[in-house]
Amino acid sequence: MFHRSLLIATLVAMAFAIVSGNVGAQQRLHEREMEFLQQPPLVGEKLPTVTLYQADGTEFQTDSLRGSYTVLTFGCLTCPPSIWNIPGLEAVERDYAPKGVRFFFVFKSLAHPEIAGDFIQPYTLEERLVQARTARERFGTQIPWLVDGIDNRFKHAMGDRPNSQFLIDPDGT
């Protein structure tokens, strides 16, 4: 699903570049796409074992995601594309949660704190937990939020991609 959406987006962008005659854009897009697809985790690799936190501060082990299909969506309070995707993800969750698919938002470091106005990059886990609770309240999400540690270990283990989503299968790949 993820790779299909990525492929469609890439093809649309490439078609635009071809129609506009921008060969340099075509080449840069292809290089970026290849680089993106070669970053870990690759399809079929096991989900890394990392300690995350629920919004209340309770530890949450990524190993506990095994056993069912799970959608992980990385986001924060200051990334417009992440914010724009929330209503659609909530709708998909309402359709698929009854079928056993689990959904989680993963709160990570702030993407654009300079444009947020009232948010700054947290320096402690407690500050990040407060921001995750603020996101849950501000966006009215039903999908639970997990919080990456202040060292961003999970974000880095998952390839450090912006606006990323991952579908984890029941065996953890």
Phi-psi region of 21 (alpha: psi -120 to 50; beta: other; left: phi over 0): left
pLDDT, position 11: 45
CA-closest candidate to residue 148, choices 76, 69, 63, 64: 76
The phi, psi pair for 135, rounded to 5°, reads -60, -45
pLDDT tens-place string over residues 106-117: 988 888 777 766
pLDDT, position 115: 73
CATH number of 51-168: 3.40.30.10
Per-residue pLDDT for 44 more than 70?
A: yes
Mean pLDDT of the chain: 82
pLDDT, position 19: 47
pLDDT, position 14: 46
3-state secondary structure 100-127: CCEEEEEECCCCCHHHHCCCCCCCCHHH
Distance CA 136, CA 167 (A): 21
Relative to beta strand 70-75, strand 59-61 is unpaired
C-alpha angle 168-169-173 in degrees, rounded to nearest 5: 70
Q: Structure pTM?
A: 0.76
pLDDT, position 127: 93
Strand-pair partners of 146: 54, 106
- Report the run of H or E that residue 75 belongs to, with start and end: strand 70-75
Per-residue pLDDT for 7 more than 50?
A: no
